[in-house]
Amino acid sequence: MTVDVPIRLVSHARRVCSLYKNALRNIENFAYLKHIYRYHAVLMRKRFDDNAKIRDLRIAKQMVIDGEKELFESMHPQPRSFADSPGGMAYGRTVVPPDWVVDYWHPSEKAAYPEYFARRELRKKEYIEWYKKTYPDVAKKIQSSQH
């Protein structure tokens, strides 16, 4: 059983924009041809524009609730998902190589970026000095174990 607890306050305008975007995504799921999608998207925009003139917030809030309910009831059974987005089949597949991989580049590859590698070597020396100054006991143990 899930409990619907709001995490943060969402403004009315944001709810309307979210409802509009989700309605267009739902139309996109059903209408796979561009001209059919465009026709239904224009009709949806007209529905939202007609209701934009309502100034009574109680009525506007109820209309958003009704719209969200209508959207939920008319959702596509298999909505499209973008491959790299959460829920997509390629989400999280990109492997970011660790920084030490660059140290094993061939010298001819490093020659293409001389300024970068010169700065990189300088930063590595600065980091080693900082580490020895910050953690002197650990640095001594490492040096004594290497000899």
Q: Look up residue 75 and give its two tokens.
A: 């959702």
- Report the pLDDT value the prediction gives residue 35, as an integer from 0 to 100: 95
Q: What is the pLDDT of residues 34-81, one digit of tens each?
A: 999 999 999 999 999 998 888 899 999 999 999 999 999 999 999 888
Query: What radius of gyration, in Å, describes the C-alpha atoms of the chain?
Result: 28
Hey, what amino acid is at 131?
Y
Burial of 2 (0-12, 13-18, 19+ CB in 10 A): exposed
- Report the pLDDT value the prediction gives residue 145, as an integer from 0 to 100: 67
Q: How confident is the model at residue 146 (pLDDT cuts 50, 70, 90)?
A: low
Please give the distance of CA 18 from its chain centroid, rounded to a whole number: 16
Q: What is the pLDDT of residues 78-132, one digit of tens each?
A: 988 888 888 888 888 888 899 899 999 999 999 999 999 999 999 999 999 998 8
d(CA 75, CA 26): 6
Compute φ and ψ for 24, nearest 5 degrees: -65, -40
